[in-house]
Structure 1
Amino acid sequence: MVQMGSSPTVWRRWLAHELKRLRVEAGLSRKEVAAKLRCTPGKLHYIETAVVAPRVRDLEEILFDLYQVPEERREHYLQAAHNAKKKGWWEKPEDGVAVPKWFSLYLGLEQGASEIYAWETHLVPGLLQTHGYATALNRNGTAELSQEEIQARVDIRMSRQRILHGADPIRFWCVIDEAALHRDVGGAEVMRGQIAHLLELSQLPKVTLQVLPQPSGAHTGMAGSFSILGFPNPVDPGLIYIEYRTGAVYLEQPSEIKEHQIAFEHLRVAALKPAPSQVRLQEVMESYS
């Protein structure tokens, strides 16, 4: 079985892809399977698109009676269903401040991803932010947040960053518009610390940082920031994540994914290469002295 860490969101995604694959291999339509399960095709659609995890009873009927999965493989799927129903650490806030549902979905995907390629236009990406930068950003960037809410957001942001470290870190490749580095978030001291942190992270073996210098003229990233997420399951095509103030868009059509992959390729060609990017980061950091 493909290893996907502890993210229930990605286990649900893996199981969804597997159940769709098994149904197609069995030569059955969603309508036919739904009729045997005594449910609507819509319910099966939600299972096969990872909106919901299947009940164990339904899963056993699907695996044993309909798809004829070999006995030695059945326990893998049942364990995946069990993992998919667990709660991630971000769904159990100790301070009682709930994570919005749309962002909880992203956290589950991020925490179980194997690779992320990000283009950022306005700010340092959350996975790379320092505590000071994240605090200043939340204090000034969103209206009417209480101190408790600000602290909860910052704590979650810091916890997210564990995927960059450890025995099996994620592959993270980011292109940042230089304008984001010149945007003073929290004052000179905070910005010096933030850029020093970027320089430190750029030394990690699975982190690649590039700076798109100013001025760079018209380029393919002007439409806005986006992230490309890839997952351990080799048959999972991944997805595109685009965030706005109160939600996010998840793009999963092959043409949409391809379009953003091409855009990212153009951006990293236009950007400074990693070593010159480190030099530019050093120069920007010194400008805050």
Structure 2
Amino acid sequence: MVSSPTVWRRWLAHELTRLRKEAALERGEVAEKLRCSTQKVGHIETAFVPPKVRDLEEILLPLYGVTEDRRPYYVQAAKDARRKGWWESYESEALPEWFSLFVGLEQGASQIRTYEAQLIPGLLQTREYAKAVARRGTAERGQEQIEQHVEVRMSRQEALFRKDAPLRLWAVLDEAALLRVMGDREVMREQLVHLLTVTETPKVTIQVIPFEHGAHAGLMGRFQLLDFPWTGDPGIAYIEHRAGALYLEEPGEIEAHTVAFEHLCALALSPDDSATMIESIAKEYS
């Protein structure tokens, strides 16, 4: 079962939008019943804020014709959506608001497909590798902020090993991510050995695109595709930049990145051959 309040807000927003449309109601009509602005209804339906439990139970669910046996599920979702995620306890210097949103989505995702050109993905980084990346970043963090940043990254990785529905991760890496030295050679050796260890996890797949394979669909930069555990949720394409991130949800945007990822998988080495390549490069760092 999903434990992320961010993803519960997302599910509830999708469901309430669907129910309103099936009931042939406009946002303005719902706003009249709630005695609020149309904008507030829009905020609920875009997961900006969750609905109040009382409004959901006494007004929205009856208004939308939800049967009584289904109502407790929606009410519980609204309560879960209002909880605080573990990541929300960190200061903005360690976890900016735009990235806090991503962590919330990541922690509730059922699957993430990611392409990285220059770095090992955060969910697969060792502590020392993550420190080296944080020290060389453009955020100009102090030592305490670096430690908090790394701690968040290590905590995020628990999603891969949780007992209840562990996150499925499929990562495609450019060979450059294996060769770009972060920290020193020992840090890199440890990092690549860690990749080999993690690939033994049933729900983690890693593929590598060698330099010799030439041009490919990832030359425009890294991206991630997040899938969620409910039928009908189209997912999100996520692109990070220096000052924030883009959360792409239009069908055409998601399809474009899905097709790109499929091409990357087809061009990359197989998971077994990728592991052999990673092992070979790890030995060179010894």
Which range, TM-score by smaller chain?
over 0.9
Residue 28 of structure 1 aligns to a residue in which SS? coil
Q: Paired residue for 1:282, among 266, 279, 283? A: 279
Instruction: Tell me which residue corresponds to 1:99.
Output: 95
- Tell me the matched-pair count: 285
Does the CA contact (< 8 Å) of 2:112 and 2:169 recur in 1? yes
Please give the residue correspondences for 1:19-98 in structure 2 after superposition, counting only pairs within 5 Å: 19-93=16-90
Instruction: Tell me which residue corresponds to 1:211.
Output: 208
Q: Paired residue for 2:120, among 124, 127, 132? A: 124
Instruction: Tell me which residue corresponds to 1:251.
Output: 248
Give 1:143 shift: 4.7
The code of the aligned residue for 1:73 comes to R
* Distance change in 2, residues 1:207/1:64 (3 Å): closer
Does the CA contact (< 8 Å) of 2:226 and 2:237 recur in 1? yes
Give 1:35 shift: 2.3
Does the CA contact (< 8 Å) of 2:217 and 2:260 recur in 1? yes
Does the CA contact (< 8 Å) of 2:20 and 2:64 recur in 1? yes
Q: Paired residue for 2:7, among 10, 16, 32? A: 10
Gaps of 5+ in 1: none
The code of the aligned residue for 2:56 comes to L
Give 1:58 shift: 2.3
Give 1:63 shift: 3.1
The code of the aligned residue for 1:37 comes to L
Residue 70 of structure 2 aligns to a residue in which SS? helix
The code of the aligned residue for 1:125 comes to P
Please give the residue correspondences for 1:103-118 in structure 2 after superposition, counting only pairs within 5 Å: 103-118=99-114
Q: For structure 1, which segment, 121-130 or 238-247, has the greater mean C-alpha deviation from structure 2 after superposition?
A: 238-247
TM, length-normalised to structure 2: 0.96
Instruction: Tell me which residue corresponds to 2:154.
Output: 158
Q: For structure 1, which segment, 71-80 or 58-67, has the greater mean C-alpha deviation from structure 2 after superposition?
A: 58-67
* Distance change in 2, residues 1:47/1:115 (3 Å): same
Residue 142 of structure 1 aligns to a residue in which SS? coil
Q: Paired residue for 2:221, among 220, 224, 235? A: 224
CA distance in 1, matches of 2:10, 2:239: 19
CA distance in 1, matches of 2:73, 2:216: 46
CA distance in 2, matches of 1:266, 1:286: 29
Instruction: Tell me which residue corresponds to 1:198.
Output: 195
Gaps of 5+ in 2: none
Give 1:157 shift: 0.3
Q: Quick check: 1:183 aligned with 2:159?
A: no
Instruction: Tell me which residue corresponds to 2:133.
Output: 137
TM, length-normalised to structure 1: 0.95
Q: Paired residue for 1:233, among 230, 235, 240? A: 230
Residue 197 of structure 1 aligns to a residue in which SS? helix
The code of the aligned residue for 2:118 comes to H
CA distance in 2, matches of 1:37, 1:164: 40
Residue 169 of structure 2 aligns to a residue in which SS? strand
| 1:241-289 CA-partner distances (Å, limit 9, x unpaired) | 1011221000000010001000000000000000000010011111212
Does the CA contact (< 8 Å) of 1:173 and 1:209 recur in 2? yes
Does the CA contact (< 8 Å) of 2:94 and 2:146 recur in 1? no
Q: For structure 1, which segment, 68-77 or 189-198, has the greater mean C-alpha deviation from structure 2 after superposition?
A: 68-77
CA distance in 1, matches of 2:65, 2:180: 58
Instruction: Tell me which residue corresponds to 2:265.
Output: 268
Residue 215 of structure 1 aligns to a residue in which SS? helix
* Distance change in 2, residues 1:281/1:217 (3 Å): same
| 1:112-136 CA-partner distances (Å, limit 9, x unpaired) | 0000000001100000000000011
Give 1:62 shift: 3.5
* Distance change in 2, residues 1:40/1:143 (3 Å): closer
Residue 183 of structure 2 aligns to a residue in which SS? coil
